[in-house]
């Protein structure tokens, strides 16, 4: 008892402990003298023993605390929880789920629904970026300096721009406006070539880790592969299939016209002298355009713009070739060649427009099926119109014939009809009609699709339950199809997994 009293007395005599002891023991007492406190402790030995053991207890870190956004710093015997979001370090006594969750909900409410893997990646990223040192230091100037260096790296410019341009400009401006004292603060921003280069690599690693993390956390995902992307950085998987339909099935004469048109454009665009002369000619003739568009094989569907621009500037090209002995110059005076060129311009525009409508994150196989079915019916309609002499379905061709008071030649009509037949066959081959049994995915509230669905007994029961849920029916009408199935994954897990797997396989 004497030893116990000495220990507690020693803690009590330390500044700031009196309040804690009296609070823990819940005893109203006079704290004026050490004798009074010693008498209280002697009278309550059990509470004193519990207090001493509690004071000596050190909480250990558990990996499960990462789901609250906390890693730890210090040694394993006495770790201190550290928030991976803001870097704040709490006391060892705060190593409790309730206190850690309280910190997350009060200071980082936007992150309270994040998964364990998110905070794990954030902690690993902080470690990789070596940000711990400036978080622990509490030096706001240093933190801001590091953040500034990352902002420069984020701009997407060459890493040498910081030391060669940005740093001298900032230093001079700050010296002029704020004085030499603030210039010294600006020098804490590390803008060397090596530093900015490391910052770029760090952000690249972070993006890669984020993408990998999302893939790992997803049960189902699809990978789309293509040799190129469009200007919006969206994969254009269908470009290769348009190429198969529109180019490989071109009749020999139309394919020849296409190749000759590209050669005409390249002859003018490939030489700087020819390009300058042609631009001056267009300006002199007050043309709507001053240059031709260069065709590139990677941007294959850009041919529609190339052909359209060539056809619009055909008079300027005719004048340009009066001073050249180019072997294709006579083609610009050939009516049949120009009719074929105008048709190619129209059909490539139509195909390109179709391709662009399919480049959307919400597009599914059902949308593709609907649009290709529409295209097949249009092709039949175009053929019947051409047989009746109604060329209005191809605007550029019709305008050319009207302006020159011409009729569509029999040879060109035959080649166009042949090409449309091949185009239709290509669409039917690459995009066959979907079976009715899978349309329960596109509309699970349509009775005929529910009945036609090929599912197991349990899955069919769930589908019937889903199809009669009026609340989900209303939600279905207000969401994208993929989002709808993803949102009901908990309630209808098997149906959701099957639908999402279908979308992953047939995602465009």
Of the chain, the end-to-end C-alpha distance in Å amounts to 79
- Model pLDDT for residues 411-433, shown as the tens digit of each residue: 999 999 999 998 898 888 878 88
Average confidence (pLDDT) over 159-174:
77
Q: Are residues 165 and 35 part of one domain?
A: no
pLDDT category at 219 given cuts 50, 70, 90 is low
What pLDDT, on a 0 to 100 scale, did the predictor assign at position 52? 41
- Model pLDDT for residues 256-291, shown as the tens digit of each residue: 988 888 888 888 887 788 888 888 888 888 887 777
Q: Are residues 316 and 261 part of one domain?
A: yes
> Exposure of 416 by Cβ count < 10 A (0-12 exposed, 13-18 middle, 19+ buried)?
buried
Domain that residue 163 falls in: 140-201
User: How far from the centroid of its chain's Cα atoms is residue 198's Cα?
Assistant: 24
- Model pLDDT for residues 296-309, shown as the tens digit of each residue: 543 445 566 788 88
Q: Are residues 401 and 256 part of one domain?
A: yes
What pLDDT, on a 0 to 100 scale, did the predictor assign at position 327? 87
pLDDT at 249 over 70: no
What pLDDT, on a 0 to 100 scale, did the predictor assign at position 136? 45
Q: Are residues 388 and 254 part of one domain?
A: yes
pLDDT category at 235 given cuts 50, 70, 90 is low
Q: Are residues 74 and 24 part of one domain?
A: no
pLDDT category at 239 given cuts 50, 70, 90 is very low
What pLDDT, on a 0 to 100 scale, did the predictor assign at position 7? 36
Instruction: List the beta bridge partners of residue 72.
Output: 81
What pLDDT, on a 0 to 100 scale, did the predictor assign at position 212? 78
pLDDT at 126 over 80: no
Q: Are residues 320 and 400 part of one domain?
A: yes
What pLDDT, on a 0 to 100 scale, did the predictor assign at position 400? 92
Average confidence (pLDDT) over 478-507:
81
What does the DSSP 8-state code read for residue 165?
I
Q: Are residues 354 and 304 part of one domain?
A: yes
pLDDT category at 294 given cuts 50, 70, 90 is low
What pLDDT, on a 0 to 100 scale, did the predictor assign at position 92? 83
**Nearest by Cα to 240 from 251, 228, 256:** 228
Q: Are residues 360 and 256 part of one domain?
A: yes
pLDDT category at 111 given cuts 50, 70, 90 is confident
- Residue after which a domain boundary falls, among 56, 73, 100: 56
What pLDDT, on a 0 to 100 scale, did the predictor assign at position 64? 85
Residue 31: CA count within 13 A, CB half-sphere: 14
- Model pLDDT for residues 373-411, shown as the tens digit of each residue: 999 999 999 999 999 989 999 999 999 999 999 999 999
Higher pLDDT, 2 or 266: 266
Mean pLDDT of the chain: 75
Higher pLDDT, 142 or 402: 402
Instruction: List the beta bridge partners of residue 89.
Output: 82
> Exposure of 351 by Cβ count < 10 A (0-12 exposed, 13-18 middle, 19+ buried)?
buried
Q: Which phi and psi angles does 223 have, rounded to 5°?
A: -115, 125
Q: What is the DSSP string of 287-331?
A: -S-SSPPPP-STTGGGHHHHHHHHHHTHHHHHHHGGG---TTGGG
Q: Are residues 145 and 132 part of one domain?
A: no
Higher pLDDT, 43 or 349: 349
Decide if 210 is inside a domain.
no
Q: Are residues 261 and 193 part of one domain?
A: no
Those residues with Cβ within 8 angstroms of residue 343's Cβ, 6 or more apart along the chain or in another chain: 254, 394, 396, 397, 412, 416
Q: How many domains does the chain have?
A: 5
Q: What is the DSSP string of 253-293?
A: HHHHHHHHHHHHHHHHHSSHHHHHHHHHHHHHTT-S-SSPP
Higher pLDDT, 308 or 22: 308
What does the DSSP 8-state code read for residue 83?
E
């Amino acid at each position: 008892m004497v030893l116990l009293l000495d220990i507690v007395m020693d803690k009590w005599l330390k500044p700031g402990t009196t309040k804690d002891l009296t609070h823990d023991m819940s005893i109203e007492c006079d704290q004026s003298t050490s004798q009074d406190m010693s008498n209280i402790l002697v009278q309550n030995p059990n509470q004193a023993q519990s207090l001493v053991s509690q004071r000596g207890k050190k909480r250990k870190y558990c990996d499960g605390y990462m789901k609250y956004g906390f890693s730890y710093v210090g040694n394993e015997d006495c770790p201190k929880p550290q928030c991976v979001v803001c870097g704040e370090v709490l006391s060892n006594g705060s190593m409790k789920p309730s206190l850690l969750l309280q910190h997350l909900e009060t200071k980082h409410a936007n992150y309270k629904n994040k998964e364990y893997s998110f905070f794990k990646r954030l902690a690993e990223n902080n470690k990789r970026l070596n940000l711990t040192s400036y978080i622990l230091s509490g030096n706001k100037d240093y933190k801001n300096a590091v953040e500034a260096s990352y902002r420069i790296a984020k701009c997407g410019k060459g890493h040498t721009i910081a030391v060669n341009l940005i740093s001298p400009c900032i230093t001079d401006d700050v010296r002029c406006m704020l004085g030499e004292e603030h210039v010294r603060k600006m020098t804490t921003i590390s803008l060397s070539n090596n530093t900015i280069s490391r910052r770029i690599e760090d952000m690249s690693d972070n993006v890669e880790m984020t993408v990998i993390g999302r893939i790992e956390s997803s049960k189902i995902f699809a990978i789309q592969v293509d040799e190129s992307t469009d200007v919006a950085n969206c994969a254009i998987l269908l470009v290769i299939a348009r190429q198969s339909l529109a180019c490989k099935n071109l009749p020999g004469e139309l394919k020849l016209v296409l190749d000759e048109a590209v050669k005409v454009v390249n002859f003018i665009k490939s030489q700087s002298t020819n390009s300058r002369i042609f631009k001056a000619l267009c300006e002199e003739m007050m043309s709507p355009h001053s240059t031709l568009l260069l065709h590139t094989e990677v941007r294959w569907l850009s041919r529609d713009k190339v052909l359209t621009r060539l056809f619009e500037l055909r008079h300027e090209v005719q004048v340009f070739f009066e001073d050249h002995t180019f072997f294709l110059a006579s083609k610009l005076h050939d009516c049949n060649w120009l009719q074929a060129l105008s048709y190619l311009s129209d059909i490539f525009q139509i195909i390109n427009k179709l391709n662009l409508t399919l480049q959307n994150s919400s597009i599914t196989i059902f949308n593709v099926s609907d649009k290709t079915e529409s295209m097949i019916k249009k092709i039949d309609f175009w053929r019947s119109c051409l047989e009746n002499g109604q060329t209005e379905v191809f605007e550029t061709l019709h305008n050319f014939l009207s302006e020159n008071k011409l009729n569509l030649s029999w040879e060109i009509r035959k080649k166009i009809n042949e090409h449309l037949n091949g185009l239709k066959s290509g669409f039917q081959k690459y995009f066959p009609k979907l079976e009715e049994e899978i349309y329960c995915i596109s509309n699970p509230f349509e009775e005929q699709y529910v009945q036609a669905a090929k599912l197991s007994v349990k899955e069919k029961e769930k589908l019937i339950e889903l199809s009669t849920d009026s609340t989900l029916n209303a939600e279905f009408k207000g969401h994208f199809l993929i989002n709808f199935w993803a949102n009901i994954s908990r309630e209808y897990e098997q149906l959701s997994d099957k639908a999402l797997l279908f979308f992953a396989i047939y995602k465009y």
